[in-house]
Structure 1
Amino acid sequence: MGQSVLNDLNLDFGSLFLLFVTVCAFMVPVAIVLPPVPVRKSDALLQTHSRAGVRRSKSALNNQYDAAQHAPRDGRPTTVQSLLIHPVKSCRAIEVTRSRVLPQGLEFDRLFTFAQLKSPFPMSLGSTDAAKSKHRWEFITQRQFPRLATVKVDLWLPDEMKLRRQSMKVTREAFLIVRFPWKEDGWRGLLSVVLAKLGGGAAAEPEMEILLPIDFPSAAEIKEKGYTFEDVKIWNEVVTALNMSPELPRELMLYLGVSNKLGLFRIDPNRLREVFRCAPVKEDAGYQPVTGFQDAFPLHLVTLNSLQKFSEEVPKDDQLKELDVRRFRPNIILSGAPAFDEETWTRARFRPGKSGLYNDAVFHVSCRTVRCKMPNVDPYTGERHPREPDRSLRALRDVDKGAPLNGCLGMQLTPLFEVDSVPGSTNSKLGSGLLGDDDPDDGRSAWIAVGMTVDVEERGEHLYIKQ
């Protein structure tokens, strides 16, 4: 009797094992084809939108350290090597092959900024309770929170073909997906790691996503979402912008290491910051120069040859092997210009060249870019070098009498718009493109693209004027 029961148990165990192997053999290929990963916000956008930008493997900056490639050569003009936009200030850049130029800078650049709510400090002994309780929003960057460099931003633009395939109305509604690494503690964290690698490969990490609309919300949407208009300080300026903090998960504050309340501000297109100092005056530009959440001017230009010449003098170590141009947060990156020649430019015209465009883009070269310690942060790892390149910038690039004891690298630009760039003119014609092709009604827009060539129309001296 006992032997019979034992045989039955062995038979049952063998049957269960065979069933387990059969299920695994069936499920493994299914899991490979359809991995059991959670649905992300970006998965839904795949049905109607396309992600803008150049993949890192195809980047025009992959050869940025090749000195011979970017040095000036007889007969070869200075050209646009790459274009970068930063939709969320201090977060990961998006490389594009062309962009519309608006009065406030490249389209989609610096639309958002993170900020922290700070108490007034220090306070005098005689301060009132009202003064002590007054808080204010101040923008944050990689200077204080270097992990912002690892926050990725994807720009999703409507795809007409996908929309028609879905029998949906063609729209111009675009979105940002903000992604940052995040892993829960315990078994949930382990599961998120497994699912991330199933969906994205061995190098993938679990991430949390935030979906943000590009279009400025309507009054009804602002009320429905609980957004508020509040003042936020950026350097020495205070601008009223839209506080979209309800969109932020608490995990982002923990990831960045922000101890104060974290906010997300969207620039109000009707309350852009006016630019004075070294910018052209309204009578010369034809409009009052403005900017969004950029540090000071609408656009920033860096030439690769200048960066390489400077980089040769910067001490390298295990933490700093090369100076990636992305450390300097430029919009326009040029190849083929003599080292530091851009510091003599005061007006530059970008011509179509091999870009495929039909228009010129003209810029007032307003002043040098005075550098802070932010280039010390690695643009991919978010790790901050304790000394470089800040120390070398101060020692070797103290070249502007208006900013003594500060290092300078790169130039600040203000767009100029000509009469023949208005919609319908010969110079404004473009084919349909990923970043849109509708000019504003006032005609103040142009296009810039990789492959354009640079003509320096005016030269002069630069003297930085502090804010």
Structure 2
Amino acid sequence: MALLPHWRSAWLCTAAAVALAAAAAAWRWRRARASCRPVQVGTVSGLFIHPVKSCRGVAVTRAQVTPLGLRSGDLRDRCWTVIQEDGRMLSAKQEPRLLLVSVTCEEGYLILNAPEMKTLRIPVEQPQTNSVWNCSRFGIQAQGRDCGDEAAQWITTFLNSEPYRLVHYESNMTTRKPRDFLPPFQPTDQVAYAEAAPILLISEASLEDLNSRLEKKVAITNFRPNIVVTGCGPFEEDTWSEILIGNVELNRRMSCPRCVITTIDPDTGIMTKKEPLETLKSYRKCDPSEQHAFKASPPFGWLYGVAKTGMVQVGDPVYKLI
């Protein structure tokens, strides 16, 4: 029998050792998971999909949880975005009136409505001849298919500002990796045009606690969550590192830094840059290890990665693993 060269024998030994270590790690993980006990901590009371970044969300009663976030038919969370001519994604921070644009999907069309504007209907599936943009946010790029001149003119006219384009994320396009600018995320986490995470979760009790401190109450929609939970105490979600909803598994990444978008009146599109942000800053503090990511932004709600996809619906029990 011919002997293997020394370098190849060493390589095979190293590969075998790595494979053995990986198998041992997987076994330890499965054993640890087997010892975890699910405890119900609440019930899903709301599900929201925000198809166009920074525009109004759509409440649904049932949704598919995908690696990129919630989906219901053609409604996919933050899979359309308005961009500037250099490809930078537009946010309500720059154009608060984006929050006045309502969005739905019907019979293969994306439908936009806004005050004093005619209804815009554009096909969800755009011609493959339309250009593909590199769309950037925080210096991290995703791709998007241009939705045409009619959509661009509609958005530009409503915002009465510089020229903008509307683009659509298509499957197999480049996604953004939150890990590239936020260390708590995992290399497998990805989004299309969301700020950071596929899922944002908030409890009703936490909102009620905040509203008890405000002169003018705010709605849950000010915080643009995907999943709302009832039946728990204020900020109990701070302790939910792994949660189960139906057959879906979500892993907590970090609390959500809140910005001036929360201060925009959803009925007028006017930004105050004050409440509820100032009150949140008075009593909600980030973990010191996350100070570089939060700076002066107070935490409210939690960002989750998707460990296991599946369906969720309003009324589902929410379990945490302990």
Native 8 Å contact 2:203 2:229 kept in 1: yes
State the partner residue of 1:278. Answer: 184
State the partner residue of 2:149. Answer: 246
- The offset of 1:77, in angstroms, is 5.0
Normalization by structure 1: what TM-score?
A: 0.55
State the partner residue of 1:146. Answer: 96
- The offset of 1:257, in angstroms, is 3.0
State the partner residue of 1:48. Answer: none
Q: How do 1:195-344 and structure 2 match up within 5 A? A: 207-215=117-125, 217=126, 221-223=127-129, 227-248=130-151, 250-258=153-161, 260-270=162-172, 271-276=174-179, 277-281=183-187, 288-314=188-214, 316=215, 321-344=216-239
Q: Does 1:448 align with 2:304?
A: no
Query: Superposition RMSD on alpha carbons, in Å?
Result: 2.0
Q: How do 1:160-199 and structure 2 match up within 5 A? A: 174-182=108-116
Runs (5+) with no aligned partner, structure 2: 1-38
**Distance between the aligned counterparts of 1:86 and 1:350, measured in 2?**
20
**Distance between the aligned counterparts of 1:416 and 1:150, measured in 2?**
33
% identical equivalent positions: 25
Native 8 Å contact 2:79 2:168 kept in 1: yes
Aligned-partner residue type, residue 407 of structure 1: P
Q: 1:240 to 1:251 in 2, by over 3 A?
A: closer
State the partner residue of 2:69. Answer: 105
- The offset of 1:415, in angstroms, is 1.2
Q: Does 1:373 align with 2:264?
A: no
SS at match of 2:106: strand
Residue-by-residue CA offset, 1:39-73 (whole Å, 9 max, x unaligned): xxxxxxxxxxxxxxxxxxxxxxxxxxxxxxxxxxx
**Distance between the aligned counterparts of 2:297 and 2:178, measured in 1?**
22
State the partner residue of 2:8. Answer: none
- The offset of 1:244, in angstroms, is 2.1
**RCO (CA 8 Å, sep 6+): is it higher in 1 or 2?**
2
Q: 1:88 to 1:251 in 2, by over 3 A?
A: closer
Normalization by structure 2: what TM-score?
A: 0.79
Aligned-partner residue type, residue 166 of structure 2: L
Larger strand share, 1 or 2: 2
State the partner residue of 2:298. Answer: 407
- The offset of 1:298, in angstroms, is 0.6
SS at match of 2:280: helix
Residue-by-residue CA offset, 1:390-430 (whole Å, 9 max, x unaligned): 2222222123221343201000011112xxxxxxxxxxxxx
Q: 1:212 to 1:388 in 2, by over 3 A?
A: same
**Distance between the aligned counterparts of 1:181 and 1:279, measured in 2?**
38
Aligned-partner residue type, residue 109 of structure 1: D
Residue-by-residue CA offset, 1:209-239 (whole Å, 9 max, x unaligned): 2223334x4xxx222xxx2112221123122
Q: State the structure with more CA Rg.
A: 1
Moved over 3 A (4+): none
Aligned-partner residue type, residue 88 of structure 2: E
**Distance between the aligned counterparts of 1:144 and 1:249, measured in 2?**
17
State the partner residue of 1:115. Answer: 83
- The offset of 1:386, in angstroms, is 4.2
Native 8 Å contact 1:145 1:257 kept in 2: no
Q: 1:247 to 1:111 in 2, by over 3 A?
A: farther
Q: 1:309 to 1:447 in 2, by over 3 A?
A: same
Native 8 Å contact 2:141 2:175 kept in 1: no
Paired residue total: 272
Aligned-partner residue type, residue 176 of structure 1: L
